[in-house]
Amino acid sequence: MKIALIPMASSGRINICTALARTLATFNHECVFILPAVWTATLKDSGFQVETFEDTTVAPSDDVRSSSSNLISSQAAVFSLPALQQFPLVGAHGFKQCCDSIMKDNGSYAETIKRVKPDLIIFDFWTTVPAFVQSGIPYVALFSCSPPMIYWKSDAPPFSSGLGKGDDLELIKQTRERFSKSLEPIRKQFDEYLESVGINLELEDRLDFSLLGQSPHLNIYLYPRDLDYSEYGPVPEKWFRLEHMVRGSDDESPLGLPDDSWLNRTDQNDGKKLILFSLGSMATALIDIMNRLIGILAHSPHRFIVSKGIHHESIELPDNMIGGKYLNQMKIMPKVDLVIHHGGNSTFIETFYFGKPCIILPILGDQFDNGRRVVDLKVGASFSPHSVTQEQLLSAIDSILEDEQLLARVEKIGNNLRNTNSHKELNEKLESIVNNQK
């Protein structure tokens, strides 16, 4: 069958949908991407068909990959706030951006869908998209962030709050109300738009305080079974847990490092471990935080591979480190002993897929949730990158690397992920949806 994959216009969402497309292609499905033309380059070497439309608000010369990084660096003070204070500013802004893009591009999505004529639509947005709902084609919502929002009816912590097991239920309730209230002006404007294009708000069936109406066909979220929020009950109705979408390693592509010999493990008898340090493509824009953390890690006896990001030319690395602007993370991660990262859902799952322990230094969004999750389940550590001390971070590195029980738990999670049947099960559900529609 022909499947249209439609990600929100961001590198992270496009990468996730690309990984899903590669999985679906193994079941002989034709995968077609639909997105604004300015993002075409991100899928240049993917091997998938790309159908585009012009986004008149973005100049063709704009570096779309660095746009999010520029936003992060320009709002550094906001991103230093703790999770509970940050969402009404950062989270609400993200929802508004998504709403604005839908109101602008909905017609273009509708026209492109008519031209492509897919059998199924899978989309990764934070909001309802009228073009998908009204297409007459079965559609599946992909929620690629951490899953507390999926379990909201069971009093799970609010999405991107960093709250977790054992926290006061009244605090959870108050936080959810505050997050929802911060979206009220955006929700009001978007609801007026939805009604103006014929969407029945009574049928929206929204996901918690978000602006995303759940699909009546199927909804997908990404998370390992062993780390899921099972304390809040079974997977909710109409939802399917896909345990990972790890895209695999391309052995032919370069590492992104000036010296590949750092992955040579023959010198490990000296007790030095190899650690990957990455804050993701967005958070590496926080140059002061990058330099602060690199300064701390310079005092470690271990060796580090550093993803330097957009400001790579401004980052000086000490002798125990090597790095590059963008790294081939899939090729590097299997070779390291530990991953220090920002807690973005893709990197979070990839780390466990390869059976690697982690330390999470969250900056925004669901990174706070994933940081809290590894602490609650005793499979890693998490600290604020703005305030973590040298003693805390270096001690955590050594403690984790020496904790045989923790390492065994992480390896078991990785083994389960590498042997999951969830991709086959998802394919069966998708084929059933399309066959029933026909």
Q: Are 240 and 420 in contact (CB under 8 A)?
A: no
Task: Identify the CA nearest to 285 among candidates 78, 99, 17, 37.
Answer: 78
Decide which of 154 and 254 is more confident: 154
Distance (Å) of CA 438 to CA 1, 29, 432, 433: 12, 16, 10, 9
pLDDT (0 to 100) of residue 61:
45
pLDDT (0 to 100) of residue 72:
65
Mean pLDDT of 265-294: 81
pLDDT (0 to 100) of residue 66:
55
Mean pLDDT of 118-123: 98
pLDDT (0 to 100) of residue 222:
95
- 142 pLDDT exceeds 60? yes
- 166 pLDDT exceeds 60? yes
* pLDDT per position as a tens digit, 288-322: 899 999 999 999 999 999 998 776 677 889 999 98
Mean pLDDT of 413-419: 97
* pLDDT per position as a tens digit, 76-87: 778 889 999 999
When the pLDDT of each residue in the chain is averaged and rounded to a whole number, the result is 90
Q: Decide: helix, strand or coil at residue 110.
A: helix
- 126 pLDDT exceeds 90? yes
Domains, the chain, ordered by start: 2-243+421-437 (3.40.50.2000), 260-418 (3.40.50.2000)
Beta-strand runs (E) in 258-329? 274-278, 303-307, 321-324
pLDDT (0 to 100) of residue 58:
54
State how far the Cα of 194 lies from the Cα of 182, in Å rounded to an integer: 20
Burial of 95 (0-12, 13-18, 19+ CB in 10 A): buried
- Amino acid identity of 45? D
* pLDDT per position as a tens digit, 246-271: 866 555 567 777 777 777 655 555 77
Distance (Å) of CA 332 to CA 229, 253, 256, 278, 407: 29, 11, 10, 12, 19
Decide which of 400 and 248 is more confident: 400
Q: Are 256 and 328 in contact (CB under 8 A)?
A: yes
Mean pLDDT of 46-50: 90
